[in-house]
Amino acid sequence: MIRPYVADLHVHSLLSPCAEVEMTPRNIVWTAAEHGIDIVAITDHNSCDNVTAALEAAKGTSVTVLPGMEVETSEEIHVVVLFGKMRQLKAWEKLVQLHRSGLMNDEQHFGGQFVVDSEDNFIRKKPEMLLTALSMGIAEVAAKVAELGGICIASHVDRPTYSILSQLGFIPPDVHLDAIEVSRRVKPSEARRLLPAIGQLPVITTSDAHTIRDFIEGPKTIFYLESPELDEIQQALRGENLRRVVV
């Protein structure tokens, strides 16, 4: 039976140096369950070390966690990539590792990058600098993600920095995107009028949460699906088999 699912497909854990330490996998999952958020994607910057903990924390709850990452391309464009299985995300991460800058994180300047387990116990700090561009361009990122069976969503295209429109001014025809994301600054219903460069791409909105308050109060997208899985979301974005998106 097709029913509505409340989804937030862009949430940062405390692995992202710009996120607060309260953004632990278990805290995110429990907050989602408490506030009726059915689907959550953990999307840290250029890394996925806390996704497994979130998947474990979600077992036995009403929350589905999708494996993901927010990638910064060589053009300094932010893109959310999502996969249906952790093994797909791990394969993607191996490619990302080859294209990182090689710089080490300056914790005093950028913030800590913490890896924890499903019970929020500290495991380690990630030393590599995550808040920096990869050496892969947007077209290559989108193509490689599609090859691995994932989806690619252009992040916060309404913002004046780190978006495909701020950096390029348009969406190149050789870049395959499954959707575009707008922030709370723009109503999704107004996106095509305000941002004509997005064309007919599906529009979603997310919290892009870095704090629990952002996560609770930030915008969400409702997907009409048969089950809370990535292939169902793909169908909804394409408007297939009665699946659809409501923003």
Over the stretch 130-160, which tens digit does the pLDDT of each residue have? 999 999 999 999 999 999 999 999 999 999 9
Q: Please, what is the average pLDDT of the chain?
A: 97
The answer to whether the pTM exceeds 0.95 is yes
| Cα–Cα distance for residue pair 83/1, rounded to 1 Å | 23
**CATH classification of 3-246, choosing from 3.40.50.880, 3.20.20.140, 3.30.200.20, 3.40.640.10?**
3.20.20.140
Two structure tokens written together for 176: 């395959």
Nearest to 83 by CA among 131, 164, 171, 145: 145
Give the start-to-end residue ranges of the domains of the chain: 3-246
Nearest to 222 by CA among 211, 212, 233: 233
Residue entry with tokens 């990058």? 113
Under 8 Å between Cβ of 67 and 145: no
Under 8 Å between Cβ of 143 and 58: no
At 191-225, the pLDDT tens digits run: 999 999 999 999 999 999 999 999 999 999 999 99
DSSP element (H, E) containing 33: helix 25-34
